[in-house]
Structure 1
Amino acid sequence: MMVRCILFMLCCLTLYCNQSVGSEAQSEQRLLKQFEIRKQWFIDQNILNMGQTPDYINRLVLEDSPYLLRHALQPIHWQPWSNNILALAKKQNQLVYLSIGYDTCHWCHVLANESYIDTDIATVLNNHFINVKIDREILPEVDAKYRLALERMTGNPGWPIQVILTPDGDILWIDSYLSQPSLLSLLKVLSSKWSANPDKLTRKAKLLQNHLFSSQKISLDDFLLPESYARLLEDVMAVLTQEQSHDSPRFLRAEWLLHLLAEYDKTANVEYLDIVKSQVDSFLISPTYDFIDGGMHRYSETGDWEKPHFEKMLYDQAQLIRVLVKLYLITGMTQYIEIANQTIEFVESKMKYNGYYVSSLSALSNDIEGGYYQTTIEDLSRLSDEQPSLFKHSPESKLFSLHSINLPSAKTINALSQLRKDGSPFPMADQKGILSWNALYAIALAEMYSATLDEQIQRKMYQYIDQLNELFYRDGQLYRIVYDGRASVDAKLDDYALFIEALLLKYGISGNSNDLALAVKLSNQMGMLVDNTDSLLLAVDDQLPSMVAMAINAYKQLYLVTGEPDMTDMMTGLMTKSVQSPLTISQLSLLFAADKTARNNRSPYFIGRGKGVVNFVTVGKDLILQINLAGGWHINSNKPLDKKLIPTAIHFINDDPVKADFPEAKRVSLSFSKNMLSVYDSTIQILLDNQQLQRTRMPIKLNLQMCFDKICLLPETILLVPPQMITH
């Protein structure tokens, strides 16, 4: 009976208020029905005991987010975010209380367990506020806005984020975690002041809103991009160096590391490589990298990497794989690829769920942060003879870590893994699938294949991208979230951009035209989303590149594949409305994306406005550079008969020649020349000296010019990173 009474009260305080009593009853029944469907989930998550009837149910029970569902049985009249929230607030002349977090956020759970089950706080919120709960992973554009405001207000953009808005949508107050007494006091004070003098608070909120979101928008044309990008890279290296000695949270900063490694490829400046190796190696031998199960923890609470914060995010695993693959290509150190493989095995075994990969694993085990990873053992020698040389155990932190980046044997790792299984249970997972994070993992697999030509990785990547298509693209609509068998929430900018990139990588390697057709179709839908997006707020990097940078990269790759000028127009449009002044390292990815001359230096390499594609392939034990050209197109041979024509040539980045056996050329007569010409067309295979490539370990330059019967395109120079073949 209590549930039914509270549900009736809830309906009168939500968007159903202006509907009939019959509609209210239908809404009530809908919530009860959905609760019954998900009742076992609440029991499995220890939110509800077997046989227990909840005292409260709110509208979050309808949502496809474990984070929101955890708040569905609280006494607060929570609602999900919608475009109607402010209209409701104006109609009822009430403040809006926003709470933003995510499922594996430790302090989000502390706040919930202290304050959101508290009936005193619930009474104030229910009587005086419209209460909105947001999963930041589902609504990244809403989160980005308030995270930026929190950073500018407090200097700390972490979660949870709590915001109080006026009915006009202006920020009256914003902060992160507050204790229960502090939050209750604040809510009482603000609700009382709003009741007494709403106009005064409205004016105050408008002043704060203008302060928090004031920025100078400029055009990238005002900058010399190479110089600005180089300056930001210097700032990045300074920050990375400082973070090593600071007693404050330290992230791997994988996106920065990838930029530094790309710059090393272009310049051969060892300063870029050295700082990346220093960062990664120190990270890998710390407890923040989990060498037992594989995979990395989200960050360390200290600059020495010794105190991990134990969440494991899918996107972190994908970015770690990308960095390790790149280091392997540059250095030839097999330890990096072994750890990349271990990370893939971890994602496959611990994060796979119903055909996709879960967004994250909690830091908690038995309500103890890091409990699963902490073990007490006095005699390590009984576990492994390798212990003194390869790994260590800290009695203080109860954590294992490596002595060097050499992994112990599988036997030793299995023994250590069993030690964990005998302790605390494995952390719970946020079981929703996020398209952008899953697509990023698919991109990491594609890069792993390009680096190793490992056919097992290739098959895994193909199958997985096809699976994402089936799960997240339904009836012509791309979705962001898959959970509990349902696809929900329209795809965001990052979902479109990263999925398009994954499809293009697969297309370039497999030649499956269906992947290209879908990528082009999705780019049109992404264009409509861009037109309705506040791109200025989404142009700032976090742990991943900014959404705007992702979208620009997707359009750039689409132009390389299709040659369609509309793609460059979309790039230009995004760049002209997405830049804040002054430029900071948080816009590094945007600057890199805005450089139209910059290409991805991984296969597949699209050439000639999509009329050709370059890949490394193997034939037996030979490494082949394969160029596939569309019908009617050709490139000049390496020894053209007409000396004025551009030969196809391969050199190292320092202009030393690469040993290569070119195929026999065709002699043809074309309309623009009176003389016979020596050309390659269709499929061209160039045999490379793999021993020389492995010994030299430098990128190579492919120079060519694509021509048709009556026209020639401009000459192209493509920077290629040769793979290091893996044999099984």
Structure 2
Amino acid sequence: MARSLSVVIKCVIWAIILTTIPILNAVTVDTTVPPKTHVNPANFKQWQIEFNKKLDVIDELLNSAGLNRQAPSYLNELIYQASPYLLRHAVNPINWVEWGDHAFNRAAHEGKLIFLSIGYSTCHWCHVMEKESFVDLEVAKMLNQHFVNIKVDRELQPDIDAYFTDVLTTVKGSAGWPITAILTTKGEPIWIDSYVTKEQLLKISERFAKIWQTKPKRLLQVAENISNQVASLSLETDSKWSTKQAKSNLNGLLSSLDSEQGGLVGAPKFPSESLLILALQAYQQSPNEALKSQLTLWLSRLTSRGIRDHVHGGFHRYATDDIWQVPHYEKMLYNQALLIKTFSKAGYLFKNQYYIDVAKDTVDFLDRVMKSQTGGYYSAIDADYFKQEGRYYLFTKDEKAKFEAKTINAFAWYQYKSKGLYAPYINKQNSDGESLKKARAVLLSERTKLALPHIDKKILLSWNALLVDAFVQLYMVTDDVYYLLKAQSLVITLEEKLIDNGKLKRAYYLNAAGGEALFEDYVYLANAYQSLYTATFESNWQSKAKSLLREIVNRNLVPQKIRNSSDGELISPDALFYQLAKQYVFSDSVISQAARKHKKMLQNAYLRNPKTSFSSVTSLLSLQQTNKRHTFAQGNGQLKLQKGADNQAKLVINLKPKWHINSHMPNEKSLIATELLIDGHKIDDKAYPKPVIKKLGFNQAELSLFEQNLEVDFKAAGKWLSVKLQACSDEVCLLPESFTFRL
């Protein structure tokens, strides 16, 4: 009897479990197709399944943007996308589709124009336009009925974004996000703008829909005119490349910097890291007090004003005013990476420990807030917090008074846009460090009790590769192996998560890699490998860099035309590709041919935009990188400066087998001697090691050489060490090379 009852109870329990499972797996949220839209029922069923998988993620994304999921929830094909930005729009009533041939084919088949919206997850005005227009049924009905609607995440498809940014700049004179455009069925722009209100959007879309139905040729002519204007950006100029003129342009650019606030004149003020790095290189090549004053002013404003987050760490994307005080509060991974690199170089060049500390503090911020459990780093932190820009970083008047009492006025405060909210900043960068440290700890302990702003948790290959390079630069300046290990660990993570069957992927999100890697991804990762090689002289890193460069060429990823060589907020991948490729012109014919071709295109692109092509100047003028380690002889040699106690210093020279440099006293006058100079004065001949005397195949006379690994010890009694040398193998001699080190 007891056994029978036990069996019955077990059967009842299993019945409950089995009847519950379908309920858990069934569609539990009311969903529907967007208005004025026909969707294949089978496709919609798949959307529902995908929606249920991502429901919690979508709700979190909507809440972070101050939105609630509509009832019923509208679904579109963006539900498959590996992007926080696109997923949030997957439940809009607008029938969004991704950029691709299917969208253009559909537009041609249905005879509709294309409505294009480009944005990104942490963009303030993208949020505003979404709340006003993209969740609105009136707007959705208009767009769904008359347009094929394409949504693009600019961070996943920077090539598409770059093109339409150029279009917007050509048409309107400036660009910003979101980008809003109406295109022909072939994707040619007819009309373009940035943020527009709901009323403007309805009026514009209705007007173009009517013209398309009645006078399509008129719009096609407009599209042709705009496309021709943009195409002219990549035409060759009448000007000819001149190294002398490029140097003159650089001097003119540097002399036009903001003498009162640093950086470029006017507002908004971006960090402009590429220009700042270029200016540091220019100073190293030709030190002068005027440029040093400009650079230290610029660096001081970045570290002491509101563009830097003095509580949590890190830097905001840009300042909205012309004194660096009021930031646009989003934080981007690429800014942090480039500023870590910049302050590392500045700390080394100016022997300023504070700059090094800023770089280290920025690394700490990234590890604390933007590092994922997988080891990669997230893309960005939103500016908005509970529907208000910057609210997470601001304090009320009462909070300010409370903290001032606790921190003994260690911080200065500025009032944010007259809204009764305040933000702390440093009045003087070298004020009492201990007081600031304690004050920051007090503020941070309170702020960490709050939920963080929305973080875009996709891991982008290119931006993380920039961070690898930044870690390496910080290691080479500090000799702290901790940062080298961080760089190596991050590279391993990128290789594990973003290489799928031997192919690079653009992004990693929701435990999956997605999107084909672009030219930018390959170049930035190759640069990360090359930086690791410069730092370690370990051949595996060089092999990986070279392999990626060959893959870029073999897969035809190199642009056939350079439309715009300007750096923008990143480093021009075109300029960086040439800088990397020219290091292999003697050792790899495939890369060499691509480098020569790219050089001509880069020169032409520079001539069209000499005032904004900062990285191109670095590459074309072969300006030396600012650090304590360099490779030479096409990567077959390494120089490493080491400082010791009592003003002693050592230059370590490493050479690969079959490579040598002439000694400081070569046996033939025609040969270039290895020469070390301190502030223009030769060091004592006794400092050099004993040379090797031998004959080589190309010369029957005995030669005085340095081979393999050697050290030159000297007294660092000066500011600058100059190194001149010429490397040769058993078969060929390369051009002489010169390097400068800060002592």
TM surpasses 0.5? yes
Superposed CA deviations along residues 287-311 of structure 1, whole A, max 9, x for unmatched, are 1111221111111110011211101
Q: Distance in 2 between matches of 1:659 and 1:122?
A: 79
Post-superposition Cα deviations, 1:30-54, rounded to whole Å, max 9, x if no partner, equal 2222111111112333459999864
* Contact 2:519-2:557 at 8 Å conserved across structures: no
* CA deviation string 1:260-297 (max 9, x = no partner): 11111111133222212111212321111112211111
Q: Could you say if the C-alpha distance between residues 659 and 250 of structure 1 is closer, same or farther in structure 2, counting changes exceeding 3 Å? A: farther
Listed as ranges, the matches of 1:212-291 within 5 Å are 212-215=230-233, 217-218=235-236, 222-235=240-253, 237-238=255-256, 240-241=258-259, 248-291=267-310
How far is the alpha carbon of 1:642 from its aligned partner?
A: 4.9
Which of 217, 220, 229 aligns to 1:202? It is 220
- Residue 443 of structure 1 aligns with an amino acid whose one-letter code is D
Matched, 1:400 2:418: no
Decide whether aligned partners of structure 1 residues 570 and 54 sit closer, same or farther in structure 2, where only a CA change above 3 A counts.
farther
Residue 510 of structure 1: how far off its partner (Å): 2.8
Confirm whether residue 567 of structure 1 aligns to residue 594 of structure 2: no
Pair 463,504 (structure 1): closer, same or farther in 2 beyond 3 Å: same
2:407 is paired with a residue whose SS is: coil
Q: Which residue identity does 1:701 align to in structure 2?
A: S
Could you tell me whether the CA contact under 8 Å between 1:667 and 1:679 is conserved in 2? Answer: yes
Q: Is contact 1:329–1:697 with CA below 8 Å preserved after alignment? A: no
**Does the aligned pair in 2 maintain the 1:298–1:308 contact within 8 Å?**
yes
Change (3 A) 1:435 1:623: farther
Give the partner amino acid of 1:605: H
Counterpart contact for 1:236–1:256, Cα < 8 Å: no
The CA deviation at 1:605 is 2.3
Structure 1 position 527 matched with structure 2 position 553:
yes
Residue 719 of structure 2 is aligned to residue 697 of structure 1: yes
Native 8 Å contact 1:361 1:428 kept in 2: yes
Question: Is it true that 1:539 corresponds to 2:557 in the alignment?
Answer: no
Shift of 1:432: 0.7
RMSD (CA atoms)? 2.9
Q: Is 1:417 equivalent to 2:444 in the alignment?
A: yes
1:36 to 39, 52, 61: 52
1:651 pairs with one of 674, 677, 684: 677
**2:211 pairs with 184, 190, 193, which one?**
193
Residue 370 (structure 1) aligned with residue 394 (structure 2): no
The structure-2 alpha-carbon separation of the partners of 1:394 and 1:659, relative to structure 1 and needing over 3 Å to count, comes to farther
Q: Given the superposition, is the C-alpha separation of residues 491 and 558 from structure 1 closer, same or farther in structure 2, using an over 3 Å criterion?
A: farther
Q: Percent identity?
A: 26
Residue 118 of structure 1 and its aligned partner are, at CA, apart by 0.5
Aligned AA (2:342): V
CA–CA distance in structure 2, aligned partners of residues 50 and 209 of structure 1: 39
Give the alignment of 1:156-555 within 5 angstroms.
156-215=174-233, 217-218=235-236, 222-235=240-253, 237-238=255-256, 240-241=258-259, 248-353=267-372, 354-376=374-396, 377-385=400-408, 387=409, 390-395=410-415, 397-406=421-430, 408-409=433-434, 410-422=437-449, 424-528=450-554, 530=556, 533=559, 535-555=561-581
Q: Secondary structure at the match of 1:98?
A: strand
TM-score, normalisation: structure 2: 0.87
Could you say what secondary structure the match of 1:249 adopts?
Answer: coil
1:207-227 deviation per Cα after TM superposition (whole angstroms, max 9, x unaligned): 233234433622798120342
Cα contact 1:96–1:132 (8 A) shared by 2: yes
Distance 1:556 1:47, change over 3 A: same
Contact 1:11 1:28 in 2 (8 A): no
Give the whole-Å Cα distance in 2 for the aligned partners of 1:8 and 1:159.
Answer: 27
For 1:93-108, list aligned pairs within 5 A.
Answer: 93-108=111-126
| AA at the equivalent of 1:471 | K
**Of the candidates 151, 159, 162, which is equivalent to residue 169 of structure 2?**
151
Is 2:634 the partner of 1:609?
Answer: yes
Give 2:88's aligned amino acid: R
Flag the structure with larger Rg: 2
Range that drifts further, 618-627 or 333-342: 618-627
Q: Is contact 2:655-2:707 (8 Å) kept?
A: yes
Quick one: distance in 2 between partners of 1:183 and 1:334?
52
Task: Give the partner amino acid of 2:55.
Answer: K
Shift of 1:10: 5.3
Q: Which amino acid aligns with 1:361?
A: I
Q: Is residue 54–residue 73 contact of structure 1 (8 Å, CA) maintained in 2?
A: no
The alignment partner of 1:84 has SS state of: helix
Q: Could you tell me how far apart the structure 1 residues matched to 2:351 and 2:656 are?
A: 35
d(CA) in 2 for partners of 1:286, 1:688: 41
Letter in 1 for 2:86: L
Question: How many residues end up aligned between the 2 structures?
Answer: 699
CA distance change for structure 1 residues 174 and 708 in 2, over 3 Å: closer, same or farther? Answer: closer
Q: Give the superposition deviation at 1:620.
A: 9.7
Distance 2:531 2:366 in 1: 21
Identify if the C-alpha distance between structure 1 residues 508 and 565 changes in structure 2 by more than 3 Å, giving closer, same or farther.
same
| Counterpart contact for 2:476–2:535, Cα < 8 Å | no
**Change in 2 beyond 3 A, CA 1:687/1:54:** farther
Which moved further from structure 2: 107-116 or 451-460? 451-460
* Structure-2 residue corresponding to 1:80: 98
Quote how far apart the aligned CAs of 1:534 are. Answer: 5.5
Structure 1 pair 473/272, CA: closer, same or farther in 2 (3 Å)?
farther
Residues in 1 aligned to 2:494 and 2:236: alpha-carbon distance in whole angstroms: 37
- What SS class does the counterpart of residue 142 from structure 1 fall into? helix
Q: Aligned partner of 1:360: which letter? A: A
Helix, strand or coil: the match of 1:97? strand
TM-score, length basis structure 1: 0.89
Instruction: Letter of the 2:443 partner, please give it.
Output: L
Query: What residue ranges of structure 1 are gaps of 5+ in the alignment?
Result: 13-23, 724-728
Deviations 1:44-80 (A, max 9, x none): 3345999986421111110011011110101000011
Separation in structure 1 between the aligned mates of residue 238 and residue 662 of structure 2, nearest angstrom: 37
Task: Summarize deviations over 1:626-682 as a string: whole Å, max 9, x none.
Answer: 222222322233334555543322113645548983333333344555665433212
When structure 1 is superposed on structure 2, of 96-105 and 261-270 the one drifting more is 261-270
Distance 1:466 1:626, change over 3 A: farther
